[in-house]
A and B are shown apart, each in its own frame.
Chain A
Amino acid sequence: MKAIYLQSTQDTPQVTLDIQKGIFEIKGNSYPENSAQFYNPIVEWLQELLANGYNNKLVFDFNFDYFNTSSAKFILEILRILEEFQEKGVDTLVRWHYFEDDIDILESGEDYQGIVSIPFELVSRDDTLNM
């Protein structure tokens, strides 16, 4: 499958979905006006990967600085698909990164951790970021 590489913008995150390199990552800010338009291709890509019977280890990194509530729904949709990988026997891990001072991103990670049943790590980082 063709990899997805999206550059970040002020209100959309950097996206890397690359099977060859084994990188699955969303990183940065996410508050586009139209979240569906941004996230649907990502959701569809993952659904196709699932349908294709992908069976290597799948580590998905969520590395948000900020996301709005309409992005929140698509993040859950992505996590639901990752749950399906897990159910199919794929070794799946979610790593939820948060800046150490950022209680809100940490707690939103905990929210998701409580909703989905996949191995889910909360990973603290200490760099500086921009809105």
Chain B
Amino acid sequence: MADLLSYLKDVGKNDIIFAYKGEINTQLLRSIVQSADAKMDEFGENLGFRKRVSGVLIEILQNVMRHGSNTKIGDLEYYPVMIIARHNDEYIIGTGNLINHQEKEFLENHINKVNSLNSDELKEFYQEVLKNGAISSKGGAGLGIIDVARKAKDNRVNYDFKEINNDYMFFSMFVSVQKPTRKS
């Protein structure tokens, strides 16, 4: 599975819109959304595209907020990280945060399932999860990843796990968001 760093190797420093390491809270989320939107406006992106990128950003960051509460292992701190970059008319949104093995199992199964579906199948899966309620105990992160995949390039959510110790690992994911096109 592609990791964020190798994907970003062609991205110049001027393409980076926002990069952050530290705890993510609602206040910060709001200001990131505002400044990313202002930046996309500067680039002349239309409203529909800006809202799509902001939407993906919100889903991903709220996911990190739900799962990224642990930061400390012994003396080491593993804060959440995030990056937004613009490259070849796409917006790349990447995050990383600490998770435990139980969360890994859920995420890995769920993302693999999502990545195996095409856009019509994702639409069906989205409706199914929406109708049948939460599939995760932490506030329905399941629907969020499906939504992100529906808006991502190739409907693909890239992810990577790096083992830290027996209990914890660092989970990173990124998607590339493209301009919406009407499918039907």
Contacts and interface: CB of A to CB of B under 8 A. Distances in A.
Given A11-B30, A70-B139, A129-B47, A104 B151 contact: yes
Interface stretch (A18-26, A40-48, A49-57, A95-103): A95-103
A68 B47 contact: no
B52 A69 contact: no
B130 A102 contact: no
Contacts of A120: none
A115 B131 CA distance: 8
B62 A72 contact: no
Contact of B47 (A10, A11, A72, A128): A128
Given A68-B144, A104-B180, A131-B33, A73 B51 contact: no
A76 B180 contact: no
Interface in B49-102: 50-52, 54-55, 58-59, 62, 65
A36 B160 CA distance: 31
Contacts of B144: 68-70
Nearest to A34: B139
A131 B37 contact: yes
Interface-central residue, A66, A111, A128, A131, by most chain B CB under 10 Å: A131
Contacts of B143: 69-70, 72-73
B164 to A, nearest CB: 27
A83 interface: no
B26 interface: yes
Contacts of A65: 51
Interface string A82-95: 00000000000000
User: Chain B interface: which size bin?
Assistant: 20 to 34
A68 B34 contact: no
Nearest 5 A-B pairs (CB), nearest first?
A101-B48, A69-B143, A103-B180, A131-B37, A102-B48
Which DSSP category, helix, strand, loop or mixed, fits chain A's interface?
Answer: mixed
A129 B34 CA distance: 13
Interface string B122-140: 0100110011011000011
B140 A115 contact: no
B47 A102 contact: yes
Contacts of A115: 127, 130-131
Given A76-B130, A111-B130, A131-B51, A70 B140 contact: yes
Given A31-B62, A70-B139, A103 B182 contact: yes
A131 B133 contact: no
